[in-house]
Amino acid sequence: MHVLLSAEQVCEGVQRLAREIDLYYGGRSLTIVGVLHGSIVLLADLIRHLNMPLRVGLLQARSYRGGATRPGELTVNRDLIPDVRGRDVLLIDDIYDTGRTLATLVEQLHALGANSVRSAVLLRKTGRREVELLPDHVAFEIPDVFVVGYGLDYCERYRNLPYVAALDTADVEGPVT
């Protein structure tokens, strides 16, 4: 694997993202919903930089299973989301790839009665978009490579890396121990 974004770059990107979100919401109360499991690291770091009253909830959305490097069918578990009726919601995800997950989740949060739903992602891949909806806040644009680290995984490995790295073809196709 090779490093795309160093730990320092990621930290600076998260701080930049927080400033942008603070500016947009201007101190208004916010409900933040993180998408498990990939956004956990981003969510934890991001909320420490936000200067507003906030509530935090989680949901689970999975479209990658096992050693898959391309998304499959999306499954969503909303059991950990607080009541969002009449609230401004910021959906936090690790990566915007095709956009199908983000579009589905934004639609579901609106259906639950959210006053507004915006989104923030650490990474946006170029050239893979399949939907019209784009994330509102993006820390980094990256090429169409399979990435791990800073919450992103391959076969449940590498989430703990403090940087973002692209897996080489041999890493993806090789055995996972």
83 among known catalytic residues = no
Of 175 and 82, which is predicted with more confidence?
82
Which of 124, 158, 159 has its CA nearest to residue 143? 124
Burial of 163 (C-beta count, 10 Å sphere; 0-12/13-18/19+): middle
CA distance 62 to 148: 16
Q: Residue 165 pairs with which residues in a beta bridge?
A: 3, 148
pLDDT-derived band of residue 127, with 50, 70 and 90 as boundaries? confident
Domain ranges of the chain: 8-145
Q: How many CB atoms lie within 10 A of CB 154?
A: 21
In eight-state DSSP terms, residue 82 is P
pLDDT at residue 45 greater than cutoff 90: yes
Choosing among 3.40.605.10, 3.10.580.10, 3.40.50.2300, 3.40.50.2020, the CATH entry for 8-145 is: 3.40.50.2020
Residues 6+ apart with CB under 8 A from 48: none
| Mean pLDDT within 80-88 | 90
Of the candidates 22, 97, 144, 171, the residue annotated as catalytic is 97
| Mean pLDDT within 36-45 | 95
Residues 6+ apart with CB under 8 A from 31: 54, 55, 56, 57, 82, 84, 87, 88, 89, 90, 114
pLDDT at residue 86 greater than cutoff 70: yes
157 to 102, 136, 143, 161: CA distances (angstroms) = 23, 28, 21, 9
